[in-house]
Chain A
Amino acid sequence: GQQVMQIPQYQHVQEGEDFTTYCNSSTTLSNIQWYKQRPGGHPVFLIQLVKSGEVKKQKRLTFQFGEAKKNSSLHITATQTTDVGTYFCAGNYKLTFGKGTLLTVNP
């Protein structure tokens, strides 16, 4: 079945540094969604990408969907302590989730 892998599993940065997490699927995706889960909270939707090569921005966050629609990335510029949490990618209708990348930020 479809598998979605995320790397890295953990990332610790100093406040102000950039951060990137990568999502790779074993199969071509029709779409990909990104979610953020704060510690002790529940996943919250960030964005959906549908088109090959699509790039979307939300303030300091930049999301990309690969040309082959099998990979995606989330890049955060100049991290802040409010960015702490686990970032998940999820693919297709059934939303197969990756294991997520836990981001911690040192103030």
Chain B
Amino acid sequence: DAGVIQSPRHEVTEMGQEVTLRCKPISGHNSLFWYRQTMMRGLELLIYFNNNVPIDDSGMPEDRFSAKMPNASFSTLKIQPSEPRDSAVYFCASRPLDREQFFGPGTRLTVL
């Protein structure tokens, strides 16, 4: 099993540009989570999906952030327009029912 796959692994962009982060969860896992990690704020849950349906997006910082899960094997997190304060490592994680989370390697985003 390849584990959770995230792309790109690194992204450098300029303020105002659109950024799309991608995640392929582990096959058979029914929940998917997007996290943001910074030194100041730690690991923050942005949104999570259950069976492709967004359940809780209260952690999404503002309207510039959006997430979709069109099918069980793919999810995107989009930031439009991006700002320097969005610079962070973004993790995607998936989990089977009532089990532990499996994290992807993360995408390190730098917004200049």
Residues of A within 8 A of B (CB): 1, 33, 35, 41-45, 48, 88, 90, 93-100
Could you tell me if A45 and B100 are in contact, using CB atoms closer than 8 angstroms? yes
Cα distance A45–B101 when bound, in Å? 7
Instruction: Specify the main secondary structure of chain B where it touches its partner.
Output: strand
Could you tell me if B102 and A96 are in contact, using CB atoms closer than 8 angstroms? no
Could you tell me if B105 and A97 are in contact, using CB atoms closer than 8 angstroms? no
- Residues of chain B contacted by A43 (CB below 8 angstroms): 43, 91, 93, 101, 103
Contacts between chains A and B (CB distance < 8 A), count: 40
Interface residues of B toward A: which range?
10 to 19
28 pairs, CB–CB < 8 Å, chain A vs chain B: A1-B58, A33-B100, A33-B101, A35-B101, A41-B105, A42-B91, A42-B105, A43-B43, A43-B91, A43-B93, A43-B101, A43-B103, A44-B103, A45-B101, A45-B102, A88-B43, A93-B98, A95-B45, A95-B101, A96-B45, A97-B35, A97-B42, A97-B43, A97-B44, A98-B42, A99-B42, A99-B43, A100-B42
Residues of B within 8 A of A (CB): 33, 35, 42-45, 48, 56, 58, 91, 93, 98, 100-106
Shortest beta-carbon distance, A61 to chain B, in Å? 15
Of B44, B45, B101, the most chain A CB neighbours within 10 A belong to: B101
- Residues of chain A contacted by B102 (CB below 8 angstroms): 45
Cα distance A42–B4 when bound, in Å? 11
